[in-house]
Structure 1
Amino acid sequence: MRKPEDMFDRDREWAALVKFATDEQPGATLGVVSGRRRQGKSFLLEALCQELGGFYFSAQEATDTESLTLIGDALTRHLDPVIPFTPSNWSMVIDVLLRIGQNRPVPVVIDEFPYLARANPALPSIIQGAYAPRRAERTSSKTRLLLCGSAMSFMGRLLSGNAPLRGRASLDLPVNTLDYRLAARFWELDDPRLALMVHAVVGGTPAYRTEMIRYDAPRDTADFDDWVVRAVLSPGSPMFLEARYLLAEEPDLRDGALYHSVLSAIAEGNSGRGGIAGYVGRKSNELSHPLTVLEDAGLIERETDAFRGNRTDFRIKEPLLAFYHAMMRPFWPQLLRGTATERIWQRARQRFTGNVLGPHFERVCREWTLYFAEERFGGWPSQVTAGTVNDPAARTTHEVDVAAVGHAEDGRPPLLAIGEVKWGETMGLGHLARLRNIHGLIRRNDRYDSSQTRLVCYSGAGFTEELLQARDRGEVDLVGLDDLYGSA
């Protein structure tokens, strides 16, 4: 079945949903679709139901009784029975949903399922009972039931551990944000530098461009500052409060002040647990729960140091959150008034480069190395993270922005590449010398096979002539913005 023409990308997700919904095998099946708000989940599922004549119901925040009434009304409109369907419990609803697929495979979607489960915590168990393997209502049905939700912590638990629905689902489909390359295409930005700057502010959430900014994109790099002011920093823009709503939408994030403080700590460069604890004013062992909740919600991610396995660094996963905590939260009272927005932005512009663009560029370079570099460095990387290398002689440590580790076929895993990243600095022989020194320190350690490690310079500002000559001699690999966006 052809994908709707107005759907951008999502080829993999659409193909998985079509395959699930058109499966001719007997017996009702269950699928789960998850992803943060505004990624296009509902758009996908509504399109699926329209194409295949399925049933789509979007739940609301309501009591259990009202929710039963609402889905009963929706089923009455869809099935057009002789008398209205007025369910008194969810077992009745699920059985009717199973009967929809008596004659053919048909998608049945319950969107925003966490609202229903919050009002009636027994609902997952009721579905489990309805989907018992030998139950006649299930075996005689071809209903393809899809439960969809945006509360990531809840959806992550729906099929895990001892959850009632574990083992019942035949589809578990995440709908993620667009990666930085797809985001550039979606925003129709041909200039790699401008595309990366925009991505550092709004990331890859499709609805930010379509519904919230209404296709207002910067014309060029000269228009970027004005665009940030009018599209994100203005109190009249829907994007102004969006970062705060991202936390409010997660039911497990009850102590908003603590979670905002943790995110601010990371945005200020405190990526380690100890640095976060010091910034927040809590003990390190008291942060395990909030860090886990933020990670389950898809708002932060943890990386294991490539060279110090006992060290974990935390990064903000959603660019808009990093932008908000670095650029908006420190000036929130002034921004709320909306009278000095341009002056605040100009005053904080250097902070944007150092606290937002620089770290974001590092993240994009690691993403490119993992997903798009393929075998450029001698093999497919299985892991790409940052790392810290000890220098005992100098009594210091050296930060490695990109460390690409390959798959261990036999013995130690190969260290494919180490790299340094600079956004606004033209890179030269000094950066190559630093990488050589770090490589020498790594070779004294037996953790990796570093005999074929490539040295890589990633720059958003270019390279000196001397460094270009070193590349031509095979001494270093150079990666610029055109490489990152596939336009080199």
Structure 2
Amino acid sequence: MSSSDAAAHPDRPDRMFDRETEWDRLLRFVCDTRPGATLGLVSGQRRHGKTYLLEAMTKATGGFYFDGQAAAEAESLRRVADRLAEHTHAPQPPRWHSWEGAVDAMLALGDEGPASVVIDNFPDLVGQSPALPAVIHSAYRRLHTARSQNRARLILSGGIPSIVTRLFSGPSSLHDLAGLELVVRPFDFRTAARFWGIEDPRLAVQVHAVVGGTPAYRGDFVCDDAPAGPDDFDAWVCRTALNPRMPLFWEARHLDEEADHADRALCHSALVAIASGCSTRGEIAECVEGSLNDVSHVLAMMQNRHLLHGEPDAFRAGLTHYRIAEPLLAFEHAVAWPHRVALEQEDVAAVWRRARAGFDATVAAPHFAQLCRDWVVGCAAPDTFGGAPESAVRGTVHDPARHTRLDVDVAVRGMTDGRPGVLLSVGLARWNETMDTRHLDHLRHILSVLAASGEDTGQALPACYSATGFTPELRAAEAKGEVLLVGVDRLYGGE
């Protein structure tokens, strides 16, 4: 598409925060003037702003938007007919008995020029009309043969990306027709801080540990209530996430509804285990006192539905560490769930005072470590680690001399001198601990154990990540190039 075409695109709405990249990709797709009907696939977890983005796009381009629902096929056909008649100013809506007529009518909007057509919540429609993907595929084949000048820009929008991928696969694969595949993701931690209007980086970590980067949570879920400052965080948690009168208090219960009913109890127990600090299959199975096979099944299912992230251990092949993908879900199982009855019957502030230490240990601390790993991959400058970071994950090292396990919070691998996968750094992350030279000595010991096991540590830089700071002695070691120090200020504003 030419630059002049791009310049003619409608501006992003002033009230839309961020999403410049997603807006640009959508507009380039729907405003493409080249002949030929095209298809776009948009996915994203609930509450991440997918529907808001698509509604704004169709309004800006004069397009047609239809929100699918889990309803009988006849009802859905009546709804889309009513919406289409309203859109085209027809005297009365058509009456279809199958999706073939409805799909043809929506695509016909592109006969006179580029026309954006959005079917949101598409998987809900397919649940009642399994043949719908094949109907759309056939309609496109007919268009490309009989009306090659048609410029319908149909966007099918769904929820969980992995489910959308499976839905659009098969004999009549819609992936083969797609000219756009867009995943609407939550805000990264820096963007989330700006979205909430938080300038203090330690406060930003705490808020992100509760609500993550989900944009919807600031509006209807907490009525735009953001912490006034670091001293307001405790009161804010009591007003919002732990307040039974707030929608946010109940939201986490809906996040794992994708789980099969028969597995729901085990899913819940596994989430509680992970929220308490268990991260491997064996640790989780031992905590829930379940079989490794059953636990592996629910972990795979929850990972497939994006409730969990599974990441390989940096040093032990075949070992996977699991973490809860949505911060609010982790907060629910670590803090809110264990105190659910008390929160509904007692003073919330008193309950939070009892739960506060647990929040720091099982929610804020591991969340801070994850943000440090995210910073390495997404924010660190290319020369920070002496090579381009490709991954930053947890790692476990067996110390044969001391018969102990050594944990690495941030193990960085990357490319240097043309060699992929080189160990660039090992790091420790501490949430409520000022770090000193003892931490550096511990990292040096870890590197010596790794070197003795055959790991190439020649390029590896020790790194300390702290949310409270570093001693003068450790700062002096940094000045000598012996260690990399990353505090919350650098996490949110530096490279």
> TM-score, structure 1 length as denominator?
0.95
Output aligned runs, 1:291-302, within 5 Å. Answer: 291-302=299-310
Instruction: State whether structure 2 residue 101 is matched by structure 1 residue 80.
Output: no
The residue aligned with 2:458 is: 451
Whether the 8 Å CA contact 1:56–1:110 is kept in 2: the answer is yes
The residue aligned with 1:54 is: 63
Whether the 8 Å CA contact 1:95–1:137 is kept in 2: the answer is no
Q: Which amino acid aligns with 1:296?
A: N
Match of 2:397 among 389, 392, 399: 389
The residue aligned with 1:418 is: 426
* Cα deviation, residue 486, structure 1: 0.6
Q: Distance in 2 between matches of 1:29 and 1:281?
A: 51
Q: Distance in 2 between matches of 1:372 and 1:478?
A: 15
Instruction: State whether structure 2 residue 242 is matched by structure 1 residue 233.
Output: yes
* Cα deviation, residue 300, structure 1: 0.9
Q: Which amino acid aligns with 1:405?
A: R
* Cα deviation, residue 251, structure 1: 6.7
Off by >4 Å, runs of 4+ in structure 1: 160-163, 251-254, 408-412
Output aligned runs, 1:118-157, within 5 Å. Answer: 118-132=127-141, 135-136=144-145, 139-157=148-166
Output aligned runs, 1:253-268, within 5 Å. Answer: 255-268=263-276
Match of 1:465 among 461, 469, 472: 472
Output aligned runs, 1:278-293, within 5 Å. Answer: 278-293=286-301
Show CA shifts across 1:392-436 (max 9, x none).
Answer: 111122000001100376556321111000010000010000000
The residue aligned with 1:107 is: 116
Whether the 8 Å CA contact 2:44–2:50 is kept in 1: the answer is yes
Match of 1:68 among 77, 96, 108: 77
Show CA shifts across 1:317-343 (max 9, x none).
Answer: 110000000001112222233x33221
Show CA shifts across 1:114-171 (max 9, x none).
Answer: 1101111111121122222774356332111111122445223234466732312111
Q: Distance in 2 between matches of 1:209 and 1:254?
A: 33
Whether the 8 Å CA contact 2:423–2:460 is kept in 1: the answer is yes
Query: What are the ranges of 5 or more consecutive residues in structure 1 without an aligned counterpart?
Result: none
* Cα deviation, residue 84, structure 1: 2.1
Cα root mean square deviation, aligned: 1.8
Q: Distance in 1 between matches of 2:477 and 2:199?
A: 29
Q: Which amino acid aligns with 1:142?
A: R
The residue aligned with 2:487 is: 480
The residue aligned with 1:166 is: 175
* Cα deviation, residue 30, structure 1: 1.0
Q: Distance in 1 between matches of 2:318 and 2:93?
A: 61
Query: What are the ranges of 5 or more consecutive residues in structure 2 without an aligned counterpart?
Result: 1-8
Whether the 8 Å CA contact 1:31–1:145 is kept in 2: the answer is yes
The alpha-carbon distance between structure 1 residues 149 and 137, as it changes in their structure 2 partners (threshold 3 A), is farther
* Cα deviation, residue 290, structure 1: 1.9
Whether the 8 Å CA contact 1:266–1:276 is kept in 2: the answer is yes
Output aligned runs, 1:9-24, within 5 Å. Answer: 9-24=18-33
Q: Which amino acid aligns with 1:306?
A: A
Q: Which amino acid aligns with 1:383?
A: S
Output aligned runs, 1:28-43, within 5 Å. Answer: 28-43=37-52
* SS in structure 2 at match of 1:85: coil
Q: Which amino acid aligns with 2:280?
A: G
Instruction: State whether structure 2 residue 342 is matched by structure 1 residue 334.
Output: yes
* SS in structure 2 at match of 1:218: coil
Q: Distance in 2 between matches of 1:223 and 1:137?
A: 64
* SS in structure 1 at match of 2:57: helix
Q: Distance in 1 between matches of 2:131 and 2:262?
A: 22
**Farther off after superposition, 218-227 or 144-153:** 144-153
Whether the 8 Å CA contact 1:308–1:387 is kept in 2: the answer is yes
Q: Distance in 2 between matches of 1:389 and 1:251?
A: 34
The residue aligned with 1:345 is: 352
* SS in structure 2 at match of 1:285: helix
Whether the 8 Å CA contact 1:68–1:89 is kept in 2: the answer is yes
> TM-score, structure 2 length as denominator?
0.94
**Identical aligned residues as a percent:** 45
Instruction: State whether structure 2 residue 195 is matched by structure 1 residue 186.
Output: yes
Q: Distance in 2 between matches of 1:37 and 1:411?
A: 40
The residue aligned with 2:6 is: none
